[in-house]
A and B are shown apart, each in its own frame.
Chain A
Amino acid sequence: MRALTWHGRHDVRVDTVPDPKIVNPRDAIIKITSTAICGSDLHLYDHYIPTLKSGDVLGHEFMGEVVEVGPGNPKLKVGERVVVPFVIACGQCYFCQKQQFSACDNSNPAETADMSEVLYGYPMTGAFGYSHLTGGYAGGQAQYARVPYSDVGPIAIPDGVEDEKVLFLSDILPTGWMAAENCDIEPGDTVAVWGCGPVGLFAIQSAFVLGAERVIAIDHYPHRLNLAKFLGAQVVNFDEVNVREALVEMTGGIGPDACIDAVGMESHGFTIDNVADQVKAAVGLGTDRPHALRQVILACRKGGRVSIPGVYGGMADKFPIGALMEKGLSVKSGQTHVQKYLPKLLGMILDGKLDTTFLISHRLPLEEAPHGYKIFKEEQNDVTKVVLKP
C-alpha cells in the first residue's frame, strides 16, 4: 500500500510499504477513505517529539471502511464505515472503565511502554502514528491501517453522512470539546483561547455550546482570527497588542475566568522568553517552548481555570509556578479521552449543532501529503486544515 512515512526533520515521503495484517483477535483492518494532517503532526515533522524511526507511517486522524475483522471482535462488520479515535484503548483496564481512555494501561506494548515510564513515571497509552513513545503503531495517512482493540475505538457512521462532517471525531473535535469541558464553564464566564488552529477553533465552538458568555481568541494569523470571529469570538492579535493588558481591560480588570492553551510546545512570538527557549531547544538544553502557557497562567484571573490541550512532551523552563500557586489556579490537561465523547459529539454533528467542515482549507490526494505538511507548516494563515484522500 501507499503511506506517508517519516524519514527525518522536514522529510516525509509517500512510500510503498507492506499492507497491514490482522495480528491480534480484536484487530480490524480499515480501508482509509479520508485522513487529515494534525497540528500535532507538525511536532513530528519538526522532530520535537523523540523516538521516531525512519520509515514510520504517520497519521492519527482517519476514517474508512472496515475490510477485515479479527475473530475476537463481534461488534464491527465488514463494510461498515467508521471513524477511528487516535487513542488506542483496551476498554478493560481500570482507566478505560473510568472512561479515562487516554490513560489506557494496556495498549502501549510492554517494550515501548518503558520509555514513557521513565519520562513520565507511568507508561503512556498507545496511539496511531505518533512515535514509539506511544507504541510505534503505524498511522492512518495511508491506504490501510490495522486498528487494535477495534471493538472499543471505532464508531460506526450512518450511511449518507459525508466523510468531512465526521472525520474530525478522530481527534481535534473531541480535543477541542474536552479543552472546553476542562474549563468547568459557569454562567457569565469569559473563556480565553490561545491559538486558533483547529483545536483552538473547536474549543471556541465548544465553549459557547457549554455556556460561555464570551470567548476571546488570541492568535496572529488574520485568517485564523477571522474564523474565530465567524464562530462568535472576540479576537486579539498578539502581533498588534499586549495580550495581557488587552485581556485585563476587556474583562473589567478581573481577567478571563478560564484560559485554554491550544498552542503547545512550539509557541510562536518574538519575545525574550520565547527566543531564549528556541535557542535552548536548538542546542538541546530544553525541549518545549511554553511561551503561550506562561501567558495563559499570568493572564488567568485569581481562582481561575487553566486547560491545556496543546501538546507538550518534555521539560519547560521558566514555568511561572508562583503565579499558578498564589492565584489559586486549577489546571486540567491530557491527551483526549476520545472514546468517551464520540457518541455525544456524533449526535451533535448529526443534529446540526456542531459544524466541523468550516476549517478545511485544502483537500489533497495522499500522494501529495508531503506538500500538505510543507504548506501546513509554512503557510499557517491560509492553511487551516489539510484533508488527504488515499
Chain B
Amino acid sequence: MSDPLQSTLHGDAPLSSAKNPDARAAATPGVVEASDTLVGRTVTINRPRHELYEFWRDFRNLPQFMREIHQIEVVDRVTSRWRVSAPAGRTVEWESLVTEERADELIAWESSSGASIRNSGRVEFHDAPAGRGTEVRATIVYDPPAGGAGKMLAKLFQKEPKIQARRDLRRFKQLMETGEISTAAAPDAAPRAD
C-alpha cells in the first residue's frame, strides 16, 4: 500500500476511526504521530465525480463552504496561499503544496515548512454504487503547533476538528447538490423575537 493514510489497523475500517492513537501511529510509521489529530469524514454527493473534483481542484472555491477559511489565493498549479481570520482582527496565512493529484480521483496536499498550522491531507473521489453519485472522503492530519500564535490557531482549528470537517463537507454537499447552502441564521433567514 503506497499511502500510509490508506492503511488500516484491522479489517477494512479507515484509519481515522481508530480508538487507540498509539496503535494508529504504529500502523503509519513516520506519518501520523500519536499526538497528531487525524480527521476522516466521508460524504456521498449525488453529483458526478468529475464535477466535484473540478470544483474542489479550483481552490478559490473552497471558502464558499469552508467557513473558517477567509480566502485562498492560487499561486500556481502546485502552490496556494490560505488565509484565515483569527481573533482580534488578525489574519493568519500559510502556503499549501499539492503533493499528489489524479484527475477525478485524488488531491493530496501538505503545508509548506514553516506553516503556523502544519497540516496535510487528501480528498478522494470514488464512484458510489450506481445512481448514488460520488463518495467524497477527506482525511486531514494536524500537527500540534508550538508557540503563542500556534496555540491560538490550535484552539481555532483543533478544538473540534472533526466538527469543522463534517460541517465543511455537509456544506460542500449542499452546494453541489442544491446550488445553495442551507441556513436558518437569524435574523434574516429566521426572524426571532428578542
Contacts and interface: CB of A to CB of B under 8 A. Distances in A.
Q: Do A and B bind each other?
A: yes
Contacts of B48: none
**Contact-size category for B:** 20 to 34
A52 B74 CA distance: 43
Contacts of A258: none
B3 interface: no
B192 A112 contact: no
B32 to A, nearest CB: 25
Chain B interface SS verdict (over half): loop
Contact of B182 (A17, A94, A135): A135
A97 interface: yes
Given A105-B173, A110-B171, A113-B170, A138 B180 contact: no
A19 B186 CA distance: 11
A19 B188 CA distance: 8
B1 interface: no
B179 A17 contact: no
A137 B191 contact: no
Contacts of B177: 90, 92-93, 105-106
Contact of B188 (A16, A21, A53): A21
B189 interface: yes
Contacts of A113: 167, 170
A80 interface: no
What 10 A-B pairs are tightest by C-beta distance, nearest first? A15-B193, A55-B193, A110-B170, A110-B167, A138-B190, A55-B192, A5-B193, A24-B180, A18-B191, A17-B191
Interface of A: 1, 3, 5, 7, 13, 15-21, 23-26, 53-57, 72, 90-94, 97, 105-114, 117, 123, 126, 135-138, 146, 148-149
Interface of B: 44, 46, 132-133, 163, 166-168, 170-171, 173-174, 177-194
Given A92-B46, A110-B166, 20 more contacts: A17-B191, A18-B188, A20-B188, A20-B191, A25-B180, A57-B192, A94-B46, A106-B170, A106-B178, A107-B182, A109-B181, A110-B167, A110-B170, A110-B182, A111-B167, A126-B184, A136-B190, A138-B184, A138-B190, A138-B191
